[in-house]
Structure 1
Amino acid sequence: MTSGLEAALAQASSLSWSQRVHAGRDLASFAAVPEAATALVGLLLDVEDTAVTRRTAEALTSVGTVAAVRLIALAVAEADDHQADWLQTGVHDALVELDGVLDVAAICGQLARDPEEAVRRGAAEIAAWVNGTKG
């Protein structure tokens, strides 16, 4: 692992919400790395602070890879209603900044065929959010 990845992984378990927000941003580009993916899902489902959930979802959406959106889909499938609202807000924040609605929609279409049912369910929810942001 690179030292940047190791540092971000250490921040992901910090007691400080701001350190966890930084970890989410720093780890987003490593979404395909198993250790980072596990930490990112934990940050997306952070029970201590909604800013961590929101900003991690925003960072992963901004990365815009299949691996990144897949992690959001996994979190959406596990999230309670409150967490899901903040996940949606983070996705929306990134889409407004990047005008990346079509790319995320296309990725959700790919994830609709994922072998894991939770990913398919989460991707369908994200696709509904994305379609709601077009208008």
Structure 2
Amino acid sequence: MPSSCVVCDNAMRRNMPGVNCLSCSNQAHYSYVGFIYSELTKSSASGGVKWQCADCDGQPSGPRNVATSALGNGIEGKLDKIFSELSAIKKQQSEFITSLNYYGERIDDFEKKLDVVESLDNKMNLLNTEMD
């Protein structure tokens, strides 16, 4: 059974390769730890990639790894993108609410006018029946 990525929890596969933690059995897809697969294959001649997962890196004795820093930066970048998109959504939502309020007021005005027209229609019908 293939192991799962500690970041996205999807299975590790040939078409989605990953890297193993130096300290434990955790694995993560290359894209989540800030590596490009083509660059990693070049580094295999020099002993391969050295990476520690966030769990192992959090230990006081564990050395800080460049890949873990890249993972943090990747997450921060993704969070910045999410916050930016949320800001755009909030702006659109605000504009939508303003539009809904405008059309709601317009509908209220039409209802008032319709009430007046219905009242006049009732009076006209009464007058017509009195004239007959």
Q: Fold conserved (TM > 0.5)? A: no
> Per the shorter chain, which TM-score range?
under 0.3
Decide which structure has greater helix share: 1
Higher relative contact order (CA 8 A, sep 6+): 1
Larger of the two Rg values belongs to structure: 2
